[in-house]
Structure formats: C-alpha cells, structure tokens
Amino acid sequence: MDFKASIAKLIADAMQRAFGDAPLDAAQIASFLEVPPDTAMGDYAFPCFRLSKALRKSPMMISDALAVAISADYLSRVESVKGYLNFFIDRATYAEQVLTACISQGDRYGSDNSGAGKTVVMDYSSINIAKRFHIGHLSTTMIGNALYRIYEFFGWKAVGVNHLGDWGTQFGKMIAAYKRWGDHDTVAKGGVDEMVKLYVRFNAEAKENEALNDEGRMWFKRIEDGDPEALEIFDWFKSVTLTDAARVYDLLNVKFDSYAGESFYNDKMQPIIDELNAKGLLKEDKGAQIVDLQDYGMPPALILRSDGATLYITRDLAAAKYRKDTYNFDKSLYIVAYQQDLHFRQLFKVLELMGYEWYKDCEHVSFGMVSYEGQTLSTRDGRIVYLEDLLHNSIEKAREIIEEKSPDLENKDEVARQVGVGAVVFFALYNSRIKDIDFWWDRALNFDGETGPYVMYTHARCCSVLRKAGECDAKPDPAALTDPEAQEVVRLIDRFPEIARGALQRNEPSMITRFSVDLAQAYNKFYYERKVMVDEPGVRAARIMLTQAVRNMLRHSLYLIGIEAPERM
C-alpha cells in the first residue's frame, strides 16, 4: 500500500464531506504531507494552513473537523494538533505491508520506472592522457558511476561517456619535454610515472625559461595540424595511459559506453564554428574569435585563439551537438568539479543562442575538491596521490583488519578487496557532492562509524542471521514488529522510494549512502534489543522477515552507489 497516496485521498474525500469543497486534489495534498521528525507526532502530518485561505477557516478549525471525518482500517488514530492533522498507521499493518512490498519487489523496490523510454548521457571521470589516475578523479568517477546506476534503476537508458582529456597545450608541453629529456625505452619501462616526471620538470624549468612554453605551444599546433611525428608520440602516450587507467576502473568496477575524448571532436569543430559565424554570433577580439556574453553577466566565450587554436568550449560545443545527434538524449549531465561552473554556464548559453532548445536538458552536476589528510593536490607541483595506490593500500589495510577480527574467514583476499575499495568509494559519496572531501584512512576504514565497512558488516550480519535461521515455514506475526526498534527499521525501508527519487531528482548519491548508514544503525539497535531466534514461531518468522528486508535493502543501496556487499566478514 502507498500510505501517502491513500491518506491524501482520505483527506480529499473528508474535505468534500465536511466542507462541501476540496480546494486541493489528492495529488496536491500528497505533495504537502510531511513525515514528522518524531513518530510520537504521527507517521504522516498534513498542515491545514494550506487550506485556510480557500476554506476561509482557521487551520485548527479545519484540522478538528477533518480529524473526526477520517477513518480507515490501517489507521490506529487521527489527531488534530495546533492546525496539523496527524495520522498514526496501525503498527502491525504498517510492518506487514512495507516488508511484504520490499521482499516481493526485490531490487525493483523503490523504482517507479519513470525513466522508461528516456536517455541520459553522462560525462564523467574524464581522465587526462599522460597523467596517472589520481585521487582528484575519485569524485567525478564514483558520482558518475552511482548516477548511472540510479538512473538505470528508474528505467532510464544511461550512456556513460569518458570524455578523455587528450587535447590542449599541455600535450605539446609533454612532447617538448619528451624530446628534450626523455627516451623511448625509459618511458616505455616507467610508463605514465615517467611521463609525469617529464611534465613536472617541464613546468619547473618553464618558470625560469618562458621559451619552453612557446615550444610546447608549437608542438601542440603540430598535433592539431596532423604532423606524423607529433601524432605518433601522442598516440603512444594515450595507449600507455589507458592501459594504466584500465586497472583502476577494473578495481572500481566502473565501465563506460564511450571513450570519445576531446581529440575525437577535432574534425567536428569546424561545422560548429561555421554555424556560429553564419548565425552572427562570432565576433573578432584582438585577433581571436569570441561569442560576446556580456549581456548575460558573463565574460566572452573564447572560441578560437588568435593563432587559430581551439579551446575547451569549442570542443564541448561539438561534443554536445554530437551527443544530441547520436543519442537523442532527454538529459545530458556533466559531472565536473564546481570550479568549471562558469565554463558550463557559458557553454549552455552559447547552445541557447545557437537556437538549440535542448540546451535546457544539459546540466552541470558539480562537486567539491578532494584533498588527502589535509594536503591539497597538484600534479604540476608533484604533490599527488595516485588512485591505484590508494585503493591497494586500502585493500591491504582491510586485509590486516580482517586478519585481526576474523582470522578464520574464507576468501579473505576477495573480502579485503570488497571492503578496501568499498571504504574508499563510500567515503567519497557520504557527504553532499558539493562539499570538499579530505580523505583520512582512520575514518574511511572504521568498522564502527558511519562508514562503508560498518554498512557492509551489517549486511554480513543479516546474511549470518538468515543462514542460521534456515528455512522458516511459520507465518510471520506482524504484531511482533510493533516495538519501537522494529518500527524504526520499517519506517526507513518505507522511506527508501522517496529517498531514491530524491537522489535521482537532485543527482545526489549521498542520499542513498546516508540512508544505508541510517538503516544499518536502526537494524543493529533492533538486533541488540530484540532476539531474532526466539521460540515463538510467528515472532521468529516476523523478525527473520525484517532481517531479510534489511539485507536486501543494504545490498541494493550499496550496489546503487557502486559498492559490493560481502556476505561474510
């Protein structure tokens, strides 16, 4: 039963009977129904001041009249308190309805399939060629991966795009550094690490010798012009980088539908430039070509430099048009740090000025920066934390904890991988995405705090209870789930569909991450207060049913944010 919708209909019908008028329909009423912070105030509450103006009565008079006009088998009572109409659902009915729905619907519980027939394109991760995958890419990669799964959960067709950073002056600098100080064998053996050393050295020496930057720009122009030597070195750098990144994506269980990076759009930019020119949007400014956005409170969008070189926005315009033409998306998300906010405001405004109505379907999903144990990160200055190293260290630390806590556990290496990787991902997705993240080992791998290992351990506990319970033929007695601890668990499970929809609408995976912590905490409180394996068959069956629902919800919640759920820990 959808209690919220059912109660909204009761209110609408009661208004008609009590006042001869229903100024709000059931759908509108449902949107105003609130969940009180304390269940002592009811399971749902309706603020009657929403009706006061239309009915020309005080909220208290309205709530008093409606309270006596509403009744239903599933309601234990309805109260009028200071203009609020408070609804108390019969506890046994509530538990039975919610848990039955959760278990019977399985991994579809909470989905309304509202995205069926729609396509969302997601631009995330976007690693840079000739640089190792570092912790700074953790947020975009895991937010994108989680949103991919959340959108699919609601029926959308998701298209994940890794818009590789494989274009720009920095690649000319990389080649210039390689030609000056590198050699093939050293770079082939050292891989991306060796390329990073060259990049750091180039930037350090360029501070003293500005001519080096001119040299870097020259090499990038040769890439743009299709120079065979420049392209051969560049393609080699790309191959080494993608091999390196593949190991990290495999660890994270992240996949993409497209690796179309910036260079993919090199031959697709001229039609965009021609269109901007034909529509009178391009203006010359000191030899460069711009789109003037002064009237919209933004600096100009620089489309072409004075030397004819393209920029990020030129390629992003081509990419946006290509994605619309190729995927005919209903929504296009750019999961990129908040520092690029101006860039995307300019991008979407230029698309609007070009006459593309679908600019409204494009959205910048921004997030905060990542630091490591109080240190900001900078590849240019050589102050970096590589994500592959971070994950392997986390796996090793998890392995040490497992050896200490569960020395007889089977498949220790597999569980250590699940816990170690999951701890990192959970830490990245726990807070609102716009907040900055400061990664600390002792917080991420804590088995007792609001962490991934804590939630995974609670899932494993549920699995253990269910293994010990075995087959249970008794009919569950819902009256056994009316205690406060069980009701809190049921209330959270009942709220999951609303939480999942909120995560979708706000592009906010942390809502599901925090839900998993709340549910784990509620179940652990129930577990310690109420023995599951009691003698009474109906009580035992009811508590096993509750445990099964929690197990399912924790496993699926972790899946939606990109984490595996071990069955033993």
Report yes or no on 356 lying in a domain.
yes
CA neighbours closer than 13 Å in the CB half-sphere of residue 239: 8
Shared-domain flag, residues 365 and 496: no
117 domain-assigned: no
Model confidence pLDDT, tens digit, residues 402-437:
999 899 999 999 999 999 999 999 999 999 999 988
- Domain count of the chain? 3
In CATH, what number is assigned to the domain containing residue 34? 3.30.1360.70
Q: Which of 4, 57, 82, 137 is the catalytic position? A: 137
Q: State which of 89, 112, 145 marks the end of a domain.
A: 89
In the predicted structure, residue 160 carries a pLDDT above the cut 90: yes
Instruction: Please indicate, yes or no, whether residues 475 and 520 belong to a single structural domain of this protein.
Output: yes
The reply to whether 221 belongs to the active site is no
pLDDT of 170 reads 86
Type and span of the H or E element at 20: none
What confidence score (pLDDT) does residue 1 get? Answer: 76
* Residue 38's pLDDT band (cuts 50, 70, 90): confident
pLDDT tens, position by position, 53-82:
999 999 999 999 999 999 999 999 999 999
Q: What is the pLDDT of residues 357-367, one digit of tens each?
A: 999 999 999 99
* 116 within domain boundaries: no
Same domain for 129 and 75: no
- Please spell the DSSP secondary structure of 246-314, one letter per residue: HHHHHHHT---SB---GGGGTTTHHHHHHHHHHTT-EEEETTEEEE--GGGTS--EEEE-TTS-B-HHH
In a domain, 287, yes or no: no
| pLDDT tens sequence across 96-105 | 999 999 999 9
3-state helix, strand, coil in the chain (%, to 5): 60, 10, 30
Which pLDDT score, from 0 to 100, does residue 196 have? 84
Residue 406 lies in a domain: yes
210 and 63 in a common domain: no
Instruction: List the catalytic residue out of 134, 321, 324, 349.
Output: 134
Q: Determine the Cα–Cα distance for residues 424 and 453; give it in Å rounded to an integer.
A: 10
Tell me, yes or no, whether 83 and 128 share the same domain: no
Are 70 and 204 within one domain? no
Residues 415 and 367 in one domain: no
Report pLDDT for 382: 58
CATH number of the CATH domain containing 463? 1.10.730.10
The whole-model pTM stands at: 0.90
Q: Does the annotation mark 134 as catalytic?
A: yes
pLDDT digits (tens, 9 = 90+) for 268-286: 999 999 999 999 999 999 9
Whole domain around residue 550: which residue ranges? Answer: 392-560
Q: Is there a single domain that holds both residue 194 and residue 333?
A: yes
Half-sphere exposure of 412 (CA within 13 A, CB side): 14
Q: Are residues 231 and 127 in the same domain?
A: yes
Residue 297 resides in a domain: no
* Statement to judge: residues 362 and 250 lie in one domain: yes
Same domain, 73 and 128: no
Amino acid at 215: E
Question: 371, 403, 420: which is the final residue of a domain?
Answer: 371
For residue 216, tell me if it sits in a domain: yes
Pair 129, 265 in one domain: yes
434 belongs to a structural domain: yes
Of the listed 131, 324, 364, 459, which one is catalytic? 131
**Contact between 477 and 546 (Cβ < 8 Å):** no
